[in-house]
Structure 1
Amino acid sequence: MSDAVTRAAATHPGLLASLDPLLREWLPRQRWFAGKGRPVTGFSLVAATELLPPGGTLGLIHLLARAHQPAVPTQGALPHPGDCYQIVIGVREALPPRLAPALIGHLEEGPLAGRTVYEALHDPRAAAVLLEAIRTRTRIGPLRFEGDPRQRIREGLVPRRVTSEQSNSSVIYGDTFILKLLRRIVPGTNPDLELPLVLSDEGCPRVPAPAGWLRADLDGLDDPYVLGVLQPYVRGATDGWELALRELAKGEDFTAEARALGRATAEVHTALARALPTVTLGHTQVRLLADGMTERLDVAAQAVPALRPYVPGLYSAFRALADLAAEGHTWTAQRIHGDLHLGQCLRSPSGAWSLIDFEGEPSKSLAERRMPQPVVRDIAGMLRSFDYAAHSATPPAPEWAIACRAAYCTGYAEIAGRDPRTDPVLLRAYETDKAVYEVLYEARHRPDWLPVPMAAIRRLSADAAP
């Protein structure tokens, strides 16, 4: 870009080797680390870039490193050469007490011997460097800090780290912007940047338009790594999950919000269909789709004995979809959100809904996440989210979920011109597939939550295939 600031990047031989023993202990403890339950056996360097020279009071090193781990015996080997993680490392002589939770460790050897290294996103001084680099569109070695010239980024916005992080990390700047740094990095076009840019060009107001982004251009790769996205911060917004639970606790009706959320979802789908290609799914494609759902059910039933009595009824949902396709029925597929639920939606103080986090399911490849799919997949995810919220209440409120489902579909139809409930075979198949996924996830990670998807499994297995 013509106004980009280019700076040289310096790296130190032996840096990763000196960090290796510290990162082996620190990395698996992070919530965003994907390889939990398996030891880290080593690291290989992808890129190390100095953002601030480590010789001063504060050094800042941007690190891309692959973590090597033993393969999962039941799932085959990890894709070679292992998951690549993004870590922004701060370097100080000693940490002030406020940064103690960010400690990675003290280095006894290597180019930073005698210094303390830590997770820099905890440090407002370090986080400010990232925003300034985007604001000035700086280039440092392989790193490209870029932005939308139509959006002005003021100097001096005060950063604060978002503590409720999951698979990524975020920093809010002055209640004006939020920077989402991706943690597990893969090369290619990331939908978390791609789709909001597309929707911005379409003039869709339901998704905050990216103001800036960070990429890495690495030798030997045709596609850059997308490392982070800066978007306007929706001040005073409440995410849909928190809002739903709050209204449930007060015994308040949520159908007006569910209907508005359905309209917002349809606006996003309609804009994506205008901007990006759509495809028609015929017999062959739908049979493969149904086969994939069936295989996932088989895997889940093998792992979760409680699911097995319901397998015959669940199979019928997938058979009904394949049978309808064999009769000549077709469906349209397009780009979608890919991981839609109440927690991916924000309600502003004005009452407007926004959709966020277009990354898709992190466990899937970028190619899978970017494939056109029926919009019903997003809709099924939201319907399951209403069910989760209802079963989180004390006592559970299944009638609340039923009312929200109806209102959401009604709102969707008001914009899209078609009610998802008019295609019950496709909707049931996707809801069933989602519930099966939830059963496997909860059994492995949150056994106390297993009754929530199991209630849906009982209902879906009892539904007669239309």
Structure 2
Amino acid sequence: MTAVTDLLAGWMPGQRWFGGKGRDWAEVSDEGFFLDQSDPVLSVHRVQITYTDGATETYLVPLSWRESPAEELAGAFIGAVTGSNGTENYAYDAMRDREATVPWLTHLVAASTVGPMRFHPAGVAHIPEGLPGDIISTEQSNTSLVYGESAILKLFRRLEPGLNPDVEIHDALRRAENPHIAGLLGHIEIDGAPGEEPATVAMLQTFVPNASDGWRLATSSVRDLYAEADLHADEVGGDFAGESERLGEATASVHADLARVLPTEPADRDWYRTLAEQMTQRLDAALAVVPDLAEHADALRTLYTAVAGTEEPVTRQRVHGDLHLGQVLRTTSGWIVLDFEGEPARPLAARRELDTPLRDVAGMLRSFDYAARHMLVEQPDDPQRAYRAQEWAERNRAAFCAGYSAAGGVPLAADSALLRAFEADKAVYECVYEARNRPHWLMIPLSSLSRLTSGD
């Protein structure tokens, strides 16, 4: 193991974007090249980790190098490496070193090829060359830089062969002139092993300033409702139903354009059976983690069995794959949908498969439930709050569905076994997540499963 590999192996497990936390490593290697050799020097490393179970993952890590310590970058310091001439070289997380963020856009404007990395400008709008980027500290699986108020670069940390669906779908919706996305300005890819497709490294989009994310707006509405003990959800000044309806319309617009410009196909019986089997397998795995799911297990299996035999017609198409209130922004002109890469933990090939728009609808309906009930965690035994949370959730779920249907989305039947099953499957996933990360939040998906399995 080289000195740089050794540094990265010690630093990566502590990063939010690293997905292998808690897994035992068998081997690690890195392959790097220089993207810019000015001051600071910028190198890019592909770090391949082999775990003891035989699985491998490859991560992208840009480093900036300085000849002396930079006190202002103490929080980004990774370590020092002694060069062949005996001098110390100081390595920093290049995404947190503003001076080292300039070359990404310089190369994108020039459509450069640097070593195995190729830069592809979309050629549709101005790219702010020469500006440094400021990191967004709240992200988890990826890392993003904002350049001024005009562009945002998302670096995909975990590399897989193939075009990332975030790039592919944004490009398709740009061609369709859909108004509910932030425009794609370009993307970057890196060559893989012989015979492999290039992996997507990053994408550049138009930055949307002065926008509010859907989760923040929705939860603010819930707080307003809780503060007005004598008013119903439709009487509170912060009523969110109008926004929920417009969000439903925006979601339907995105789905319609994806079906128009990307492939579609009718679902066959094998698809329904496979879907039901996958849901059942996820339930079985979740039961081992969340014993409280046991009381719902039989009803969930019955619900999933109904999916295998349903006659609901489905036209499979490209979808968002991980839609919730945190993935949408409200601007002065309407809703913008973000992050079309799907669930980052799933293999890229699976995220690019055709699916039903009902999966996205179910994800958003689950998000309304979370927004309504998140404050119940503080007062779980308050029946008045529980009633108001249910009232808010029902009102906004109904408004979203009404907007979606009115804008020409796939029909949303009230008795849809598919939609109910997708919601339940998502709630089972949430139970596992909460049990592992926020046990005091487990009550939220469990209460939803009570509703979903009772047929209410």
TM-score of the alignment, normalized to the shorter chain, above 0.5: yes
> Do the aligned residues in 2 keep the contact of 1:57 with 1:93 (CA within 8 Å)?
no
Shift of 1:322: 1.8
Aligned to 2:115: 141
**How far off is 1:25 after superposition?**
1.7
1-side partners of 2:65 and 2:358: how far apart? Answer: 48
- Matching of residues 6-21 of structure 1 within 5 Å: 17-21=2-6
Residue in 2 that maps onto 1:315: 301
Match of 2:10 among 15, 20, 25: 25
Conservation of the 8 A alpha-carbon contact between 1:283 and 1:330: no
Amino acid at match of 2:450: R
Q: Deviation per CA, 1:173-211, whole angstroms, max 9, x where unpaired?
A: 011000000000101121010000011011111112210
User: What is aligned with 2:61?
Assistant: 87
**1:33-432 equivalent positions in 2, closer than 5 A:** 33-45=18-30, 47-53=31-37, 57-71=39-53, 77-78=54-55, 82-108=56-82, 114-251=88-225, 252-325=238-311, 329-348=312-331, 350-393=332-375, 395=385, 397-416=389-408, 418-422=410-414, 424-432=416-424
* Equivalent position SS for 2:288: helix
Cα distance 1:423–1:372, how it changes in 2: closer, same or farther (>3 A)?
farther
Q: Deviations over 1:99-140 (max 9, x none)?
A: 111111112466896111010111111111111111222211
Post-superposition CA distance 1:16-51 (Å, at most 9, x none): 611122212210000010000124443223x41202
Q: Is the Cα contact below 8 Å between 2:128 and 2:150 reproduced in 1?
A: no
Aligned to 2:454: 462
Letter aligned with residue 93 of structure 2: E
1:273 maps to a residue whose letter is A
User: Using the alignment, how far apart are the partners of 1:39 and 1:303 within structure 2?
Assistant: 20
Measured in 2, the distance between the counterparts of 1:440 and 1:412 equals 29
> Secondary structure of the residue that 2:344 maps to in structure 1?
coil
Alignment partner of 2:310: what SS? Answer: helix
Distance in 2, Cα, partners of 1:149 & 1:324: 46
* 1:219 to 1:371, Cα distance in 2 relative to 1, 3 A: closer
Q: Distance in 2 between matches of 1:399 and 1:112?
A: 69
CA RMSD in angstroms, aligned pairs only: 1.8
CA contact (8 A) 1:24 1:42 kept: no
Q: Indicate how the Cα distance of structure 1 residues 142 and 37 shifts in structure 2: closer, same or farther if over 3 A, else same.
A: same
1:11 maps to which residue? none
Partner of 2:230: none
Structure 1: stretches of 5+ with no match in the other structure? 1-15, 72-76
- Check the 8 A contact 1:239/1:346 in 2, yes or no: yes
CA shift, 1:154, in A, is 3.3
Quick check: 2:251–2:404 contact (8 Å CA) kept in 1? Answer: yes
Moved more, 141-150 or 374-383: 141-150
**Amino acid paired to 2:41:** G
Between the aligned partners of 2:102 and 2:132, the Cα distance in structure 1 is 7
CA offsets, 1:74-94, max 9 Å, x none? Answer: xxx42xxx1100111010123
Which moved further from structure 2: 367-376 or 95-104?
Answer: 95-104
Q: Secondary structure at the match of 2:58?
A: strand
Moved more, 218-227 or 413-422: 413-422
Counterparts of 2:448 and 2:251 in 1: how far apart (Å)? 23
Contact 1:311–1:461, Cα closer than 8 Å, also in 2: no
1:418 CA drift (Å): 4.5
CA deviations on 1:351-390 (whole Å, 9 max, x unpaired) are: 4101111111112111211111111000000000111111
Segment of structure 1 superposing worse, 61-70 or 103-112: 103-112
Percent identity between the two aligned chains: 39
Q: Counterparts of 1:112 and 1:194 in 2: how far apart (Å)?
A: 47
Structure 1 equivalent of residue 231 of structure 2? none
Query: Given residue 354 of structure 2, which amino acid in structure 1 is its aligned partner?
Result: P
1:387-435 CA-to-partner distances (Å, cap 9, x unmatched) read 1111113545221111110000000011125442345211111111111
CA contact (8 A) 2:99 2:132 kept: no
Is the CA contact (8 Å cut-off) linking 1:290 and 1:318 kept in structure 2? yes
Deviations 1:306-332 (A, max 9, x none): 10011111112112222224xxx5321
CA deviation after TM superposition for structure 1 residue 285, in Å = 1.7
Q: CA deviation at 1:445?
A: 2.2
- Counterpart in 1 of 2:442? 450
Separation in structure 2 between the aligned mates of residue 347 and residue 105 of structure 1, nearest angstrom: 41
| Conservation of the 8 A alpha-carbon contact between 2:152 and 2:205 | yes
Tell me, yes or no, if the aligned pair for 2:44 and 2:60 is still in contact at 8 Å. yes
Contact 2:105–2:128 under 8 Å retained in 1 = no
The 3 A distance-change label for structure 1 pair 111 and 66 is farther
Unpaired segments of 5 or more residues in structure 2?
226-237, 377-384
- SS of corresponding position for 2:2: helix
Rounded Cα–Cα distance in structure 1 between residues aligned with 2:85 and 2:334: 51
TM norm structure 2: 0.91
Deviation at 1:222, TM superposition (A): 3.7
Alignment of 1:431-446 (within 5 A): 431-446=423-438
Provide the secondary structure at the position in 1 that maps to 2:208: coil
1:115 aligned counterpart, secondary structure: strand
Instruction: Report the AA paired with residue 375 of structure 1.
Output: P
